[in-house]
């Protein structure tokens, strides 16, 4: 139970990050579309429910049944329910990223469908595992379906890696050759790798430990954190939009040559007399234009802005 307890503590810490990111999202993006707000709210509620389930599990084993060793071999309903909740969180978050693939690939059904098959396979594996596990009462029985548990972690790692690789490929092909846009795309690629690989590595660690240490709960330590990492990857993606956007500046110089020397005076619209003296033959005019874009799709952005926003996963 030591590894299980550590997993609960780490998950609780990550839930705190989820709570903070959720609060930040609703504060900084009040004009987001309603379906984005519903998405964030649903993920946060499921993430909170997951934390409640695993906290109930560890409390039941280590507090309620303290000094009752036979109970440690029994399966409680909450440790099975958390598997289903974690699967739902993964499905929702991965579906969001699949929608980004659909947009960036210009509605390429073949590419989008290939990734979607992996995601659906992962969730179906979770459903099969839960349907079998809920009919069992001891961990000795649970050990007979270890293959399904390993399949959950394997499909999770495969789908997350596929999403990260496809998004990185699409972003790479979106390069324009302009320094500013390419710099932003490089940031998006790095951000995609960081968020996608993190969940994949966690799933691989869970898979490796259940294969190497089948008679321990070390793998549960990693599995408890998996749902929390999904929630935070979604929130981090949405909350990073403001930092990824930067003012675009365009500077141009206009050289006017051959201008004759003038010593006349002119009067402006207010009647103020302006005297021009000592004007040289070469006049250089530099125009600095600064354009700031700080709006979302819901704010009525132009088609060009929408293109950049889609690259930024919004």
On the question of pLDDT at 89 being above 70, the answer is yes
**pLDDT > 70: percent of the chain:** 75
- Residue 62 in contact with residue 8, Cβ under 8 Å? no
pLDDT of residue 106: 86
Looking at per-residue pLDDT, the higher value among 42 and 289 belongs to 42
pLDDT-derived band at 244, boundaries 50, 70, 90: low
128 CB neighbour count, 10 Å cutoff? 14
CA distance 306 to 246: 15
The structure tokens listed for 279 are 């004007």
Domains of the chain: 2-244 (1.20.1070), 248-311 (no CATH)
Rounded CA-CA distance 150/135 in Å is 19
Residue with tokens 């595992």: 129
Given this model, what pLDDT does residue 288 score? 53
Average pLDDT, the chain: 79
Task: Say yes or no to pLDDT of 278 above 80.
Answer: no
More confident residue, 225 or 289: 225
Q: What pLDDT score was predicted for residue 104? A: 84
31 token code pair: 């004009």
- 214: confidence class by pLDDT, cuts 50, 70, 90: confident
**Is 46 in contact with 85 (CB distance < 8 Å)?**
yes
pLDDT of residue 263: 45
Torsion of CA 67, 70, 72, 78, to 10 degrees: -110
In DSSP terms, 50 is beta-bridged to none
Supply the DSSP string of 252-270, one letter for each residue: EEEEE-SPPP---EEE-TT
DSSP state of 70: G
In this predicted model, which residue has the larger pLDDT, 230 or 241?
230
**Cβ atoms of 55 and 76 closer than 8 Å:** no
Per the structure block, which two tokens stand in for 238? 């949405």
Question: What pLDDT was estimated at residue 86?
Answer: 94
Alpha helices, DSSP H only, in the chain? 2-28, 34-59, 77-104, 109-133, 139-142, 146-173, 179-212, 218-239, 241-244, 303-311
In contact, 289 and 76? CB cutoff 8 Å:
no
Tokens of 270: 């207010």
Q: So what's the pLDDT on residue 13?
A: 95
Place of tokens 């993190």: 198
pLDDT beyond 80 at 276: no
R_g over Cα of the chain: 28
The two most distant CA atoms of the chain are separated, in Å, by 105
């Amino acid at each position: 139970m030591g590894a299980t307890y550590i997993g609960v503590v780490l998950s609780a810490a990550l839930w705190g990050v989820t709570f903070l990111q959720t609060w930040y999202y609703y504060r900084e993006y009040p004009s987001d579309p309603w379906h984005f707000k519903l998405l964030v709210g649903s993920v946060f509620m499921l993430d909170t429910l997951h934390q409640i389930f695993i906290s109930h599990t560890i409390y039941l084993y280590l507090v309620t049944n303290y000094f009752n060793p036979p109970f440690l071999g029994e399966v409680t309903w909450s440790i099975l329910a958390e598997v289903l909740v974690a699967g739902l969180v993964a499905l929702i978050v991965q579906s969001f990223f699949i929608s980004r693939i659909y947009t960036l690939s210009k509605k390429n059904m073949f590419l989008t469908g290939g990734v979607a098959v992996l995601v659906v396979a992962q969730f179906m594996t979770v459903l099969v595992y839960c349907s079998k596990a809920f009919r069992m009462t001891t961990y000795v029985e649970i050990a007979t379906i270890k293959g399904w548990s390993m399949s959950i972690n394997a499909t999770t790692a495969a789908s997350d890696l596929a999403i990260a690789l496809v998004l990185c490929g699409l972003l790479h092909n979106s390069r324009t050759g302009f320094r500013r846009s390419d710099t932003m795309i490089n940031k998006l690629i790095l951000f995609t790798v960081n968020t996608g690989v993190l969940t994949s590595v966690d799933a691989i660690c869970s898979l490796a430990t259940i294969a190497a240490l089948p008679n321990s709960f070390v793998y549960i330590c990693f599995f408890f954190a998996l749902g929390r990492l999904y929630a935070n990857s979604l929130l981090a993606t949405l909350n990073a939009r403001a930092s990824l956007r930067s003012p675009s500046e365009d500077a141009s110089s206009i050289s006017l040559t051959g201008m004759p020397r003038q010593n006349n005076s002119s009067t402006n619209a207010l009647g103020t007399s302006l005297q021009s003296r000592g004007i040289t033959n070469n006049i250089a005019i530099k125009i600095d234009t600064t354009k700031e874009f700080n709006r979302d799709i819901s704010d009525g952005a132009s088609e060009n802005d929408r293109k950049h926003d889609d690259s930024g996963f919004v």
